[in-house]
């Protein structure tokens, strides 16, 4: 099975119960929504990786006059979006190969979806192609420190990949700049507490985010290896009140990307556009 098919299958299997477990995903989407420029009034906006339609509903409420396109790789996820009865066109497609014409969207909004793209360079090239001149893309994604506690736990057992690998910030910057997009990035750290490796694994499976982007070794994880990983995981637990344990603080590293496609340059003799220096990212660390 290809990586793309595995991603679609995994999220499709989680579609029916995704919203019951996606608190972090909703919180991040809400945070991304606060970054929408107040003066923005897009004629067409795209919810890229719409999932169950949470962000599509947010966009429709914010921009009721806009044409909304909700796009996802998973058909079952799109069915969940359809159930919201939004005034949106639904598209099942790969973000790296968008079935959309050039320069068609003033806004692309994508919360915690681009990390599943199999080719970041192709993804950003597609964003640049589809955005109209002067258009905006607001994206959130996971960074490589995400689930580092889970990675450390399994590293005590074997050398195989058990955790998704996420694209580091410099590579995202490079991909955006090579696509001709101006880029600002903010970074945030959030933590969720889990009282065992099993509860964390179940939580990831419930949202379709179990290990996807690498090749697992053949065969199942044995009970013995899982117990060893769990023992290492619990060594990272923090003490709580009354000498009890708060559990293990599991890291979620978040990137918020603000991308801008340069507007068409004015003709000679007309006013010049102000040049914004956005080559360097703006980073902030906030622990939740």
94 burial (CB, 10 Å; 0-12 / 13-18 / 19+) is buried
pLDDT higher than 80, residue 210: no
Domain 3-144+166-191+252-260, CATH homologous superfamily name and number: Vaccinia Virus protein VP39 (3.40.50.150)
pTM for the full predicted model: 0.87
pLDDT of residue 277: 40
Instruction: Provide the token pair at 177.
Output: 């700049």
List CB contacts of 59: < 8 A, sequence separation 6 or more: 45, 47, 66, 68, 107, 109
Name the residue ranges covered by the structural domains of the chain.
3-144+166-191+252-260
In this prediction, residue 27 carries a pLDDT of: 98
Q: How far apart are CA 182 and CA 97, in angstroms?
A: 21
Listed residue (286, 252, 285) closest to 112, CA to CA? 252
Residue 209: how many other CB atoms lie within 10 Å:
23
CA atoms within 13 A on the CB side of 188: 17
Rounded Cα distance between 249 and 287, Å, is 11
Distance, in Å, from the CA atom of 167 to the CA atom of 115, rounded to the nearest integer, reads 7
Q: pLDDT band at residue 244, thresholds of 50, 70 and 90? A: low
Flag whether pLDDT at 238 surpasses 70.
Answer: yes
Helix (H) or strand (E) holding 176: helix 169-178
Q: What angle separates helix 120-130 from helix 169-178, to the nearest 10 degrees? A: 40
pLDDT for 239 beyond 50: yes
Backbone angles phi, psi at 116, to 5 degrees: -90, -5
Structure tokens at 210: 């179990």
Structure-block tokens of residue 208 = 């379709």
* Number of Cβ atoms within 10 Å of the Cβ of 268: 6
Position 266 scores a pLDDT of 44
- Of 47-56, 73-82, 164-173, 263-272, where does mean pLDDT reach its minimum? 263-272
Q: In this structure, what is the dihedral angle of CA atoms 126, 130, 134, 140, given to the nearest 10 degrees?
A: -50
Mean of per-residue pLDDT scores for the chain: 88
Classify strands 245-260 and 238-239 as parallel, antiparallel or unpaired: antiparallel
- What integer pLDDT is reported at residue 268 of this predicted model? 44
CA 116 to chain centre: 7
Query: Which two structure tokens, joined as six digits, stand for 127?
Result: 């964003």
Of 288, 281, 262, whose CA–CA distance to 139 is shortest? Answer: 281
Ranges 173-187, 226-240, 254-268: which has the least confidence: 254-268
- pLDDT for 264: 74
Q: What is the average pLDDT across 33-37?
A: 96
pLDDT band at 211 (very low <50, low <70, confident <90, very high): low
pLDDT confidence tier of residue 278, bands split at 50, 70 and 90: very low
Q: What is the SS3 assignment for 34?
A: coil
Please tell me the predicted confidence (pLDDT) of residue 212: 64
pLDDT value for 59 = 98
DSSP 265: P
Pick from 3-7, 76-80, 150-154, 181-185: least confident: 3-7
Residues 130-142: what's their mean pLDDT? 98
């Amino acid at each position: 099975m290809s990586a793309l098919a595995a991603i679609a299958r995994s999220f499709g299997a989680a579609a029916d119960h995704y919203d019951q477990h996606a608190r972090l995903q909703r919180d991040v989407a809400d945070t991304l929504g606060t970054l929408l420029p107040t003066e923005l009034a897009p004629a067409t906006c795209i919810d890229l990786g719409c999932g169950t339609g949470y962000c599509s509903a947010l966009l429709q409420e914010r921009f009721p006059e806009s044409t909304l396109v909700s796009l996802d790789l998973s058909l079952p996820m799109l069915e969940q979006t359809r159930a919201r009865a939004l005034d949106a066109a639904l598209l099942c497609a790969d973000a790296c190969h968008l079935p959309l014409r050039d320069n068609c969207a003033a806004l692309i909004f994508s919360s915690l979806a681009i990390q599943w793209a199999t080719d970041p360079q192709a993804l950003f090239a597609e964003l640049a192609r589809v955005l109209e001149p002067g258009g905006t893309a607001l994206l959130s994604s996971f960074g490589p420190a995400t689930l580092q506690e889970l990675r450390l736990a399994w590293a005590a057992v074997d050398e195989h990949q058990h955790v998704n690998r996420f694209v580091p910030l410099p590579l995202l910057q490079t991909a955006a700049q090579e696509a001709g997009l101006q880029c600002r990035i903010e970074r945030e750290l959030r933590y969720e507490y889990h009282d065992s490796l099993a509860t964390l694994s179940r939580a990831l499976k419930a949202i379709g985010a179990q290990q996807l982007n690498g090749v697992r070794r053949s065969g199942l994880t044995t009970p013995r290896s899982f117990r060893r990983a769990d023992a290492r995981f619990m060594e990272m637990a923090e003490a709580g009140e009354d000498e009890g344990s708060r559990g293990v603080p599991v890291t979620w590293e978040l990137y918020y990307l603000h991308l801008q496609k340069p507007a068409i340059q004015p003709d000679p003799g007309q006013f010049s556009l102000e040049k914004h220096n956005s080559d360097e990212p703006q980073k902030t660390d906030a622990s939740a």
